[in-house]
Structure formats: C-alpha cells, structure tokens
Structure 1
C-alpha cells in the first residue's frame, strides 16, 4: 500500500489527507478539513504539515501527491495544483489529479450508502458543474460525464424507481431552477457538502494502483468552462 498525500482547495473548503499502511498494520487515514474562504494559500501547507506530523510521516516517505483537479474555483484549483506540483517536484514523486465531482460522489456513498449520486457544484454565472455516478462497495462509475450547464438543462439517466438519485454539492442550492423531471427523481439532496481531500486520497490510491499517474510538470486543473468556450469557438 503506497503512502499518499492529497490536498484540495477547489471550493470554500480547504483540506489535506494522508493515507498510509506501515509494517503490515491496518490502513490509516489522517485528514484536516476547514471552511476557509479566501484563506487557502495560508491554510493549505500548514494542513499538510499537520497530517504528516500526526501520522509520523516525513515528506520523503510519500509515494505520490494527489490534488483536486477540478472543476471548481479557478483560483482554488490553481492553488492546489501549484502546491501539489511544488511538492512533487521537490520530492521527485508522481502526481494524481482527482475529480472534485467524483470525490463528492464517494463522500455521499461513504456517509449514506447511496448507489446513484448526482454531484453538482455552483459554477456561478447561472451554471453548475455536474456529473452522475453509480457507487458500489466504495467504487464509483461515471453515468453522466462532467459538464458545465445551466441547471435548467440538467437531464439524468434513467434508473429504476422514483426518487432514486441522491444529490450532493453546492449546485443543489439551485434546486428551484432545475427541471421538474429532475426534481421528481432526486429523493434526497445535500447542498452543504464540499469536496474533501479525504475522499480524494482514496480515489488516488485506486488510480495509483493501476498506474494512472503523471509527472510534476503535467499538473493541470480542469476548469470545464474553458473547455466549453473553446469547443464553441471551433
């Protein structure tokens, strides 16, 4: 089991998490999370220091560094990517970029055992970042690709049963703007939760195991909105 560090600053929250296993001992997870709007630059590295110190791990013990690659706050994504990139460069370790929307889906699954999850984050300008997932036994499978759209345009894949979807993320604060068909099939929603490094480090362990890593210079936030603008301009 590799020793992995994850960090995230994609929303109003800031977080860091460490996943490790030593000498045949059980897997251990150490994390920090705080709602710190506009304080990510000041809080992120101290959080990293705290989780390393609590776990008794030195930076040189890390096998890789993961970061919330987006979508999310443009500034926050750059902070997390830049911090992770700096650590990876200094330690000569690989990077793993983790979807913030997938991390939210895993959080809903871990907390509530739900299987079908719609993750939505407020993208401002009357839009949401959205994706849909099937979650089973701690794994995630994308059912709707990540996109940035007005909430009025949200459409969900058909699944068995009404009210079978669980909605999580700040985008659900725009519930009233979503289509009636969506409201009919989303039985529960949580508009307060933000992406967290705790789930990201678990997803990073999965990706690390299959070799899905990049070099430090390849750290790249995923904004989605820029991609949409580029496609329209082609």
Structure 2
C-alpha cells in the first residue's frame, strides 16, 4: 500500500519534519532547543512544497508522542493535532524511544538498541528494542522513566551486543556504563521524523490510526513500573 504520511517531532532538542510519498522521504531537521514553535511549521511547508502536495492530499499525520521534554512533547502534539484537524487526517503516535532504535538501524544497521534519553532529575527515559523480520520493533523492556543506577543494577548479562542511542548515555555515563549486557556506542542522540514516518507507515498499513481527539502524549513521569524490580508489576 502506497501511503503519503507527514511526520513531525519536537520532543527533544531536535526539531524535525518528514514526508513519505511513494517510498521517497523529504526531510527537514534542526537541533534548536528553544525554537521549535518557530521552526516546525516552516519545515512542514517546505517538505510539502518540495513534494508538490497539500495537507489535504495526505493519508495520515504522525507525531512523536514522547517521552521527551514536557514542553516539547506538548508543542509537537498540539501542532500535529491542529494540522490534522484542519485537513481531516487520521493521526499516528510513535514512541520517540522506538524512533531512535529505527534511526540506529538506518545509520548503523543496528537490530538491538538500548535507548536512554536524559529525563533530567537524575533519571532517563529508557527502553530496549529488537528489530523484527518485518521491520517493526519489539520492546524488550517496558518504556519507563527511571534512575540510571537502577537500570544498571537490574540489568542482566546476555549474548547480545546492544547499540546505544540517546542523550542519557553521555549524561549518566558513570552509571550506565556499568550495565551487565554488552554495549556498542551508537551515533543517534535524538528521535527524528525521518524514522517516525517509517514506523508510522507500518502502523498505517495495519489500520492503527486514531482521531485528533484520541491522540495523546506519553510522558512516563506518572509511570514508575519496572518489571524486573522486586514487588513491582
């Protein structure tokens, strides 16, 4: 199925837009931590103009649903909802952690990725992902916001080399370098719309879309579950 999907993400320092049209991807990105509201709509206009399309000609609008900066996530979903509402488009929310796994595959061919975004307050947004044969990703750990020392303390040795992704690995290097599994330093620091739009295509083909009213962010701050911790479910 050929799909025309616009994706945007402002959940971290990176501001990005991508438009998928017949397996071609038009991309704009810039690391601009305090200028997302100024940058994102011009980027949208640029990729649409480059592809010769209008919003009304698209099939869906995807967005980075989080986790990430509270303000950044809210900016992204708010703008995405406004665009989707005006063009009557279904929406697709994509995990920013999973997007970094896809970015690691795009850049390095990584199929096992350990993602950690600096969540401030001595915590990381954490998740590990394994690439499946169909190109989708399976979660190995539940996405969570968690102290990096807890990640290290509850890690287990396995026979897999995990490629790192995200700002958390540098921000909390002392703690995360003590994880029990083997790690390989990756080159992806931020989620990007180029990867979100690829993941959104899989969801669109499965019919996993939502209305503007149903679209919602994922902050993780209210989720403290870590399945491998004693006494937690």
TM over 0.5: yes
More helix by share: 1
Q: Is the 8 A contact 1:120 1:129 kept in 2?
A: yes
The reply to whether residue 219 of structure 1 matches residue 215 of structure 2 is: yes
Rounded to whole Å, the distance in 1 between the matches of 2:36 and 2:184 is: 34
Corresponding residue for 2:120? 124
Distance 1:140 1:211, change over 3 A: same
8 Å contact 1:132–1:156 — kept in the other structure?
no
Partner of 1:42: 38
Report how far residue 170 of structure 1 moved.
Answer: 0.4
Deviation per CA, 1:48-80: give whole Å up to 9, x if none. 001100111111111110100000000010011
1:18 paired to 2:16: no
Structure 1: gaps spanning 5 or more residues = 22-26, 230-234
Match of 1:31 in 2: 27
Aligned to 2:158: 159
Deviation at 1:123, TM superposition (A): 0.2
CA deviations on 1:72-97 (whole Å, 9 max, x unpaired) are 00001001100110111111111101
What residue in structure 1 maps to residue 229 of structure 2?
Answer: none
Deviation (angstroms), 1:132: 0.4
**2:55 aligned with 1:54, yes or no?**
no
How many pairs align? 220
CA RMSD of aligned residues (A): 1.6
What TM-score comes out, normalization by structure 2 length? 0.90
Q: 2:197 aligns with which of 194, 201, 205?
A: 201
Unaligned runs of 5+ in 2: 226-233
- Tell me by how many angstroms 1:188 deviates: 2.2
The match for 1:188 among 179, 185, 189 is 185
Aligned mates of 1:118, 1:181 — CA distance in 2: 11
Mark the CA change 1:112 to 1:179 in structure 2 (over 3 Å): closer, same or farther.
Answer: closer
